[in-house]
Amino acid sequence: MAISGRHLRFICIEQGIIPVVFNFFLNGFIAWMVFQSMESVPLWGQTSLGVDLLLTAFLLPFLTTVISSVIIKKQVLSKKVPPLYLYYLNGVGWLRCSPVRFGIIFGLFCVVFCAIPMVWILSLSHLQAISVDSYIIFKSGWAAMLSLLVSPVVGWWALAKVSSDVVA
């Protein structure tokens, strides 16, 4: 058995659409809670757009990995999601990586390749500050797009990891 329709639903819906919607609203709420008392959100400073984007780019993949790996393991063990039976899973080194370690590595990857370029683009545009309402909308969209990149990768990794343990 290779990739089934259930696997595609798992990756596209459960690790795609649902996390995107969840992260859109969650991060919008967090941005509102953090920045609601400010007149505008500066690009840099202790409470700023740049710091918030860098933190989100690390924390979203890290927390997604740690939380999803536990949930996915339970789903596979309870047979709600079938394991992957793919010949190339045996002996793959990154499957031996713990969820915390994978989350840290993936979080740092997202900081370097997602957040830093975004902050750099905003700096090049000479942005000094943005209205709180605009930032809440921006942050919600940013988190949703980041989740669209992160969640399927994490879901696939966690499914492959638990499958290699179950099948082996």
Q: What is the pLDDT of residue 144?
A: 98
- Token pair, residue 158, equals 């966690």
Q: Which domain holds residue 10?
A: 5-167
Q: What confidence tier does 155 reach under pLDDT thresholds 50, 70, 90?
A: very high
Q: What is the pLDDT of residue 95?
A: 73
Q: What is the pLDDT of residue 90?
A: 59
Q: What confidence tier does 87 reach under pLDDT thresholds 50, 70, 90?
A: low
Q: What confidence tier does 92 reach under pLDDT thresholds 50, 70, 90?
A: low
Distances (CA, A) of 152 to 7, 135, 144: 11, 26, 13
Dump pLDDT digits (tens) for 10-26.
Answer: 999 999 999 999 999 99
Dump pLDDT digits (tens) for 105-132.
Answer: 999 999 999 999 999 999 999 999 999 9
Dump pLDDT digits (tens) for 28-72.
Answer: 999 999 999 999 999 999 999 999 999 999 999 999 999 999 999
Q: What is the mean pLDDT of residues 71-86?
A: 90
Q: What is the pLDDT of residue 142?
A: 97
> What total number of domains does the chain contain?
1
Q: What is the 3-state secondary structure (H, E, C) of 80-149?
A: CCCCCCCHHHCCCHHHCCCHHHHHHHHHHHHHHHHHHHHHHHHHHCCCCEEEHHHHHHHHHHHHHHHHHH
Q: What confidence tier does 163 reach under pLDDT thresholds 50, 70, 90?
A: confident
Q: What is the mean pLDDT of residues 162-166?
A: 79
